[in-house]
Structures are given as structure tokens and as C-alpha cells.
Structure 1
Amino acid sequence: MQKFLFGCTLGVALVACAQSPGPVAAPPVSAEDPAVAAQCDASKVLEVIGQLPTPELQERARTAAGARVVRVLRHDQVVTMEFRVGRLNLALDASGRIASANCS
């Protein structure tokens, strides 16, 4: 019986002392990675505020900001909060004009 208890105690001690694997390092980020290369800068498109978001205006704003994609957010629209590098958001006011521009 004592050998059994000793074996159980030893087993529990070994499990308790076992180390969990450390954090996995993220792969290195390359400057050629499209997610890194497409840096959006909304400060370059502030002139679109107050304008209607026509397809042509959206494309000009996307290009000027250096964004890969543009998303138009209607007034009171429910939106997802995920962050996407290289995305230009154009938020509209109640009249359908661009109220703000930001990157996320």
C-alpha cells in the first residue's frame, strides 16, 4: 500500500512540475507583406468630408490614402469592430454625406 501511495504522490509531483510550452513566436514580418505594405493614412483624404460618396470619389480617396479597400459606413449602421490594415472607412452623416474618414 505504501508503494502505491508513493507512486501516486510521485506521479502527481511530476505532473505538477511539468512545464507548459512557452509562447510561440510570431513569424517575422516582411516589408513586402501586403498587410504591412498597404498603410492607410486618412489624413490625406480630409477634403472628401462633406461630399457624396460616389464610386469615383471612393476610389480617389482609397488611392490617396494608400488603402487597399474602402468601406462606406451609413449613418446608424451596425458595423463590425475588427481591425484591417489598409482599409479606409468613410462614415456618412444622416444626409448621406461623408462626415469622417479613418483607417482601420
Structure 2
Amino acid sequence: MITRFYPFALAAISLTAVFTLPAQALAAGRDMASRPAAPPARAEPPSQDTCGQGPAKRLLGTVVTPQARTTLVRAVGHDRIRVIRPGSIITQDLRSDRLNLIVDDSGRLLTARCG
């Protein structure tokens, strides 16, 4: 008995899809055409020196040599220091206790930041 009505049920489902999909597409198009809402304003977190970037920023413009690195390790109190050169491949993990030293091609310190 169910098999006799199967073609009719299939036709009803197909017709429903034909009429509801364009309406859904139009509604989605209207949503996409409207201007997106501005993101909520974020309060800037207080800048805390969690990695010792303060002493490192005093060395801006100097060449990072092994001796300068040793001095910096003593000044910041840890050895979690990463020197990032142009084109170097680095991991994207965020560690607030690690000091990143960004240097140029000649090894001159451009900036220091936590991460």
C-alpha cells in the first residue's frame, strides 16, 4: 500500500524544495546585502610585562650578539627568548612568558614583545 503512494510523496517533497529554496536564498541574499554590524568595542587589556620586554626594549637598535643575549637573560630573569629573523619560520603558539626579539637582516633589534 505504501509503494502506491511513494511517487506522490516524492513529488510533494520535490515541490516543497522547489518553492522553499528560492525563498531561503532570497532571505539569505537580503541578510548578506545589509551592512555588517560593527564589532563591539574591546577594552584594551592593561599592558603587563609578563616576559621581560622592558629590559629588552632598552636594547632597541643594537645588534643581538651572544653576549647581548647573555646580558638580556640576566636582566629578564629567564632564558625563554626567541630571536625572529626576516623569513624565519616560527610557531604560532602564544606564550605570554616568552620574549620575542624581532631583528632585521643585520641582526639589529627592531622590537621586543611577549608571545
Written as runs of structure 1 = structure 2, the 5 A alignment for 1:1-104 is 39-104=50-115
CA RMSD for the aligned pairs?
1.8
Q: Which has more radius of gyration?
A: 2
Answer 1 or 2: which has greater helix percent.
2
How many residues are aligned here?
Answer: 66
Q: How high is the TM-score relative to the length of structure 2?
A: 0.49
| Counterpart Cα distance in 1 of 2:97 and 2:67 | 19
Give the percent of matched residue pairs that are identical in Structure 1 and Structure 2.
Answer: 32
Q: Unpaired segments of 5 or more residues in structure 2?
A: 1-49
Deviation for aligned residue 1:78: 2.1
Structure-1-length-normalised TM-score:
0.53
1:12-68 Cα shifts (integer Å, max 9, x gaps): xxxxxxxxxxxxxxxxxxxxxxxxxxx412022212111111112112223323334
The one-letter amino acid of 2:97's match is G
In the TM superposition, structure 1's runs of 4+ consecutive aligned residues that sit over 2 Å from their partners are 65-68
CA contact (8 A) 2:63 2:106 kept: no
**Whole-angstrom distance in 1 between the partners of 2:96 and 2:73:** 13
